[in-house]
């Protein structure tokens, strides 16, 4: 069922190894308003770390700070293992273009996910099955066409003009690659930025918007995630506050079987 040739997502997040300096390139397939889709940038950074010969363990936490727009084309990734012990590694990654300033600054933690007591207080939200929901129509941005968004609740309603009273910022949706691809930690990283700006939902309109800082925690080992063998996640996102030109978002990515795979939070700029 899955495409065996290279997936567009893997092309878009491909990296070339260097000693400490790795290379990547923006993809026209994952383009947003004024630069690459932040999820693809985050996944590219994570890929460089996962493919790094010194990497050990599974991704536990990744924080990506979007400092400035990335221009179309090649970029460098300055990858540095800051500190390591026998159970965890701390990394930093700086993305820059043409010997210029840093455009994206990231830190990551990798860890040996040793067996332990286990408990999941969070419950998977109820949701209409994926197959019973129609795919959301495409948006202009090319990155949105690489995904299949099926809203259970809180679809963006951006065509009625600005709301007179704020709408709900909550969304619940299935997210899958448009061309199915087995979910790995790269998918989770990218999908954790694949929610639409919560401010669009609250305002009922598109406004100038940009993620400033994104943090994702992984709650599954690579081996457990591979065993899930899934091509979609149930995702929920909400916001707590919009004020003084910035708003928050927090979200969860669930396996169809009810396992919490990742949690994510971000703070984003808006103009409204």
DSSP code per residue over 20-85: SEEEEE--GGGB-SSSB-HHHHHHHHHHHHHT-TT--SEEEEEEEEE-SPPPSSEEEEEEEEEEE-
Number of residues that bind a second copy (CB under 8 A): 65
Give yes or no for residue 212 binding a second copy (CB under 8 A): yes
Give yes or no for residue 166 binding a second copy (CB under 8 A): yes
Compute how many other C-beta atoms are within 10 angstroms of the C-beta atom of residue 112.
Answer: 13
Give yes or no for residue 239 binding a second copy (CB under 8 A): yes
- Which of the stretches 19-27, 41-49, 139-147, 238-246 binds a second copy when contact is defined by CB under 8 A? 238-246
Nearer to a second copy, 145 or 269 (CB): 269
Nearer to a second copy, 151 or 246 (CB): 246
Residue 71 DSSP label:
P
Q: What are the structure tokens assigned to 72, written together?
A: 């179309």
Apex CA 53: angle with CA 44 and CA 86, to 5°? Answer: 105
Nearer to a second copy, 3 or 122 (CB): 122
Instruction: Give the span between the Cα atoms of 30 and 191, in whole angstroms.
Output: 12
Q: What are the structure tokens assigned to 185, written together?
A: 């930690």
Nearer to a second copy, 39 or 251 (CB): 251
Give yes or no for residue 219 binding a second copy (CB under 8 A): yes
| Contacts (Cβ under 8 Å, ≥6 apart) of 140 | none
Nearer to a second copy, 144 or 255 (CB): 255
Give yes or no for residue 109 binding a second copy (CB under 8 A): yes
The answer to whether the beta carbons of residues 31 and 144 sit under 8 Å apart is no
Among 232, 233, 252, 255, binds a second copy (CB under 8 A): 252
Question: Could you list the residues that contact a second copy (CB under 8 A)?
Answer: 60-61, 63, 65, 67-68, 82-83, 85, 87-88, 90, 92, 94, 101-103, 105, 107, 109, 111-122, 166, 168-169, 202-203, 212-213, 215, 217, 219-221, 224, 238-246, 248, 250, 252, 260, 263, 265, 267, 269-272
């Amino acid at each position: 069922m899955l495409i065996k040739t290279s997936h567009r997502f893997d092309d878009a997040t491909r990296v070339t190894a260097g000693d400490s300096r790795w290379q990547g390139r923006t993809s026209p397939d994952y383009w947003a308003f004024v630069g690459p889709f932040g999820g693809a940038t985050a996944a590219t950074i994570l890929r460089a770390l996962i493919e790094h010969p010194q990497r050990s363990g599974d991704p536990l936490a990744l924080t990506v700070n979007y400092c400035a727009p990335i221009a179309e084309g090649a970029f460098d990734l300055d990858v540095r293992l800051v500190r390591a012990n026998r159970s965890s590694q701390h990394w930093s990654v700086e993305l820059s273009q043409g010997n210029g300033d840093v455009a994206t600054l990231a830190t990551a933690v990798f860890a040996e996910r040793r067996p332990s007591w286990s408990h999941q207080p969070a419950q998977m939200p109820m949701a209409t099955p994926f197959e019973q929901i129609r795919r959301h129509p495409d948006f202009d941005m090319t990155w949105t066409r690489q995904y299949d968004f099926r809203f259970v609740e809180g679809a963006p309603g951006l065509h009625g003009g600005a709301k007179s009273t704020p709408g709900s910022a909550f969304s619940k949706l299935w997210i899958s690659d448009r061309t199915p691809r087995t979910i790995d930690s790269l998918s989770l990283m990218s999908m954790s930025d694949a929610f639409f700006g919560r401010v669009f939902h609250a305002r009922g309109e598109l406004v100038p918007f940009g993620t400033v800082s994104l943090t994702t925690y992984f709650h599954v080992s690579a081996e457990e995630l591979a065993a899930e063998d899934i091509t979609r996640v149930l995702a929920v996102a909400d916001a707590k506050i919009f004020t003084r030109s910035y708003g928050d978002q927090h979200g969860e990515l669930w396996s169809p079987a009810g396992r919490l795979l990742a949690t994510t939070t971000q703070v984003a700029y808006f103009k409204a």
